[in-house]
């Protein structure tokens, strides 16, 4: 993998009950930062994943990331770039690289320590939970401890873990 300025320890899992997760997050005194509607446009690239993320009332962001496909917690290395002229940029990227898939989701964002917890309702896929423990001011061991604590507290079963991105799931369901 290339050198990246940002890194997460993360996983994605199918959820049978976002209500159950909300109750556990409230018991943990995690902070709910609100709900967002996001549209991620994925472009064809030779390695990693490249998406333009559009979120209502926020500046669009280009996200490039590399992460192994594995049904477990794994490290994601990523870069972010704010986009000023979204319409022109999106058209240029679509013309140059081609659109791979578009993912639309309602996301509820929770924060616990250095971890972002996403409760996602993904159009045409269902309900999911994602944990992204940002590795920044703490050691890798501290980040892993926080991540594993949340995973256990939220009762995420190994069988529910998803090895790929929403984009891959949508491509598979559409084929």
User: What pTM, to 2 d.p., does this model score?
Assistant: 0.93
In a domain, 154, yes or no: yes
| Cα–Cα distance measured from residue 115 to residue 117, given in angstroms and rounded to the nearest whole number | 6
* CB-CB contact of 80 with 6 (8 Å): yes
A 10 A CB-CB count for 56 gives: 9
Size (the chain), residues: 175
In a domain, 116, yes or no: yes
pLDDT over 70 percentage in the chain: 98
CA triplet 102, 11, 27: central angle to 5 degrees? Answer: 110
Q: What is the pLDDT of residues 21-63, one digit of tens each?
A: 999 999 999 999 999 999 999 999 999 999 999 998 889 999 9
CATH code at position 107: 2.40.320.10
In a domain, 77, yes or no: yes
pLDDT over 90 percentage in the chain: 89
Q: What is the pLDDT of residues 118-142, one digit of tens each?
A: 999 999 999 999 999 999 888 899 9
pLDDT of residue 1: 45
Q: Residue 64: give the domain boundaries.
A: 6-174
Domain count, the chain: 1
């Amino acid at each position: 993998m290339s050198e990246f300025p940002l890194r997460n320890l993360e996983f994605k899992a199918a959820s049978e009950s976002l209500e159950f997760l909300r109750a556990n997050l409230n018991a943990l005194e995690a902070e709910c930062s609100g709900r967002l509607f996001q549209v991620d446009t994925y472009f064809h690239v030779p390695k990693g994943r490249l998406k333009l993320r559009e979120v209502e009332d926020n500046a669009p962001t280009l996200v490039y990331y590399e992460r192994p496909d594995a049904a477990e917690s794994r490290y994601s290395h990523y870069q972010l770039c704010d986009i000023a002229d979204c319409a022109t940029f999106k058209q240029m990227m679509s013309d140059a690289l081609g659109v791979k898939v578009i993912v639309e989701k309602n996301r509820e964002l929770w924060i616990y320590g250095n971890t972002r917890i996403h409760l996602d309702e993904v159009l045409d896929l269902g309900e999911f939970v994602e944990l992204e423990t940002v590795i920044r001011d703490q050691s890798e061991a501290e980040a892993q401890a926080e991540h594993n604590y949340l995973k256990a507290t939220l009762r995420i079963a190994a069988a529910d873990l998803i090895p790929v991105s929403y984009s891959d799931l949508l491509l598979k369901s559409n084929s």
